[in-house]
Amino acid sequence: MQWPLIISEFKDYFDRDFTFGVNIPDIRDKDIQRAIGEASAIFNPDIYPDETKALAFAYLVAHFIKTDINAANTGSTTSVGIQTGRSAGSVSESLAVPEWALKNPMYSALARTYYGQKYLALTDTYAVGTIVVVGGNTLP
């Protein structure tokens, strides 16, 4: 994937996760574009290396699409709990949500979907403990 994220690349990457099309209930290009706008409001591309930036952003966009789908399906009145696993047929996957994510209101909202958890896992490496070194010296 390249940065900035292109809708066609998003569709290619998540082709098994979402049903894309032009009519509701399929995920439309305008749904992806709206999620890109939402994700852009909280995404800081400067903390990621070039090879990870688009992937982290794609998972954040997928998180917003999933929360929008959940809101549309429930009338946005139902609170969705934190998803810790998923399965399809004989394949299953689970993720443990770290305590630091559960204690932060923003991170705990992201932890409510599988995609948000993947975003947090990719982001944690770059966002926690980032240090910038600036060279210089002092005068005697």
pLDDT in tens, 32-90: 999 999 999 999 999 999 999 999 999 999 999 999 999 988 875 555 555 566 677 88
**pLDDT recorded at residue 131:** 67
CA 109 – CA 77 distance, rounded (Å): 15
**pLDDT recorded at residue 79:** 52
Q: Flag whether pLDDT at 130 surpasses 90.
A: no
Residue extents of the structural domains in the chain: 7-127
**pLDDT recorded at residue 85:** 64
pTM over 0.85: no
| Contact assessment for residue 94 and residue 84, using Cβ atoms and an 8 Å cutoff | yes
CA distances from 8 to 2, 11, 21, 24 (A): 11, 5, 12, 18
pLDDT in tens, 90-116: 877 676 667 777 788 888 899 889 999
100 φ, ψ (degrees, to nearest 5)? -65, -30
